[in-house]
Amino acid sequence: MKWKKLIAWMLARSPLPGLVRRAHRRELCVLMLHGFASGELQDFENAEHKHLEIAKFEGFARWLASRFRAIPLSEAVSALERGKSLPDHALCLTMDDGFRSTHDLALPVLKKFQLPATIFLATEFVDEKKPVWVDRVTFSLIKAGRSAADVRGIKRDLKARSQDDIEAAVCAIERESGHALPARVDEASVPATQRCLDWDQVREMRAGGLVEFGSHTHSHRLLGRCSEAVARDELVKSKRLIEERTGAACDLFCYPNGQPGDYTDTTERLVREAGYRSSLTTVSGWNATGASPFAMRRLGANNQIDLTAFILLMTRTPGCGEVLHEEAHPFDEVDRGGCAAAFARGP
């Protein structure tokens, strides 16, 4: 293990990552994050490492600001729509779900380094304070003594089912484990990592000009595993709520889970019909000039990786998948030829 870490450290600080990124300088890099954390956490709070320690995020942000040109996602989508070239080394930051920590912890870092970001809101989470089903599963299983590896495996199996089956299974897990997250994430017993943004914070962030907002469906359903009517309702309801609460157009969309099967030709048609200009997946990779704005790829980072791994991930340095494989257990997929996204299937 130590020699692999040493090789990774040497690779990250060699000319190779810069050369690789320079060769792909005209391709858009989209980074996927979720929530953020500070201080000690309970065992269930970050079992899958999706809440990034804020000090670690600041280190990542400092490196990004020195190596990339961060632009708003809406600007990147406009360029893709027109087939126009993006600025060299273009980067978009995205954050899924709508955790309160994006305001309380991440926003000061974004301001410090002047990094624009897009936050995709699961509007049931924000508007009704209902916990997202993936977090309900994690809470129930970890509280019942299951390992983080078990949680990942069970979720992976769940995500292959129809959405109706998923919802029934989540309720069964809560019932059989004897543990369930509170019905609302604004209850006093719910820790900070599990809390959601409120609409005042959303409006404040948008007014600051550095953060824009998109839809992540209403209830975090996997659209490709829903009926067409349910998928359409998820898209339309979320868009309407965001527009009503912010007074601004919402035309950016991000698929929950975001792997093939979660998005299909049918979901793309529904996304377009609902009035969105783009849709983001969790498929690993960069986006070339002329790429479809309705199947955008991302690179995902979580709290399991350090700055060395982050550099290799963001530059997709050849061979880094082998070097990082031992430490990449939260990654559902590791691209051994390049460097696959952490959390490729995304919570």
Cβ–Cβ under 8 Å, residues 268 and 295: yes
Cβ–Cβ under 8 Å, residues 192 and 202: no
The CA-CA-CA angle for residues 191, 195, 198, to 5°, reads 145
Give the bridge partners for 32, in sequence order: 94, 300
pLDDT along the chain (347 residues), means of 10: 73 78 88 96 93 97 97 97 92 98 98 98 98 97 95 94 94 97 96 97 98 98 96 98 98 97 97 98 93 96 92 78 44 33 31
Q: Is residue 109 part of a domain?
A: yes
Give the pLDDT score at 320: 56
Write the CATH number for 106.
3.20.20.370
As a whole number of Å, the CA-based R_g of the chain is 19
Give the pLDDT score at 338: 36
Give the pLDDT score at 16: 76
Distance from C-alpha of 271 to C-alpha of 285, rounded to nearest angstrom: 22
Give the pLDDT score at 318: 64
Q: Is residue 166 part of a domain?
A: no
Which residues lie closer than 8 Å to 2 by C-beta, 6 or more apart? none
Give the pLDDT score at 14: 81
**Of the candidates 191, 217, 98, which has an alpha carbon nearest to the alpha carbon of residue 138?**
191
Give the bridge partners for 35, in sequence order: 51
Give the pLDDT score at 337: 33
Q: Is residue 343 part of a domain?
A: no
Count of domains for the chain: 1
Give the pLDDT score at 2: 75
Secondary structure letter of residue 15 according to DSSP = S
**Of the candidates 149, 158, 173, which has an alpha carbon nearest to the alpha carbon of residue 332?**
149
Q: Is residue 149 part of a domain?
A: no
Q: Domain range for residue 231?
A: 2-130+196-327
Q: Is residue 89 part of a domain?
A: yes
In the structure encoding, which two tokens stand for residue 12, read together? 């990250």
Q: Is residue 240 part of a domain?
A: yes
Q: Is residue 294 part of a domain?
A: yes
Q: Is residue 174 part of a domain?
A: no
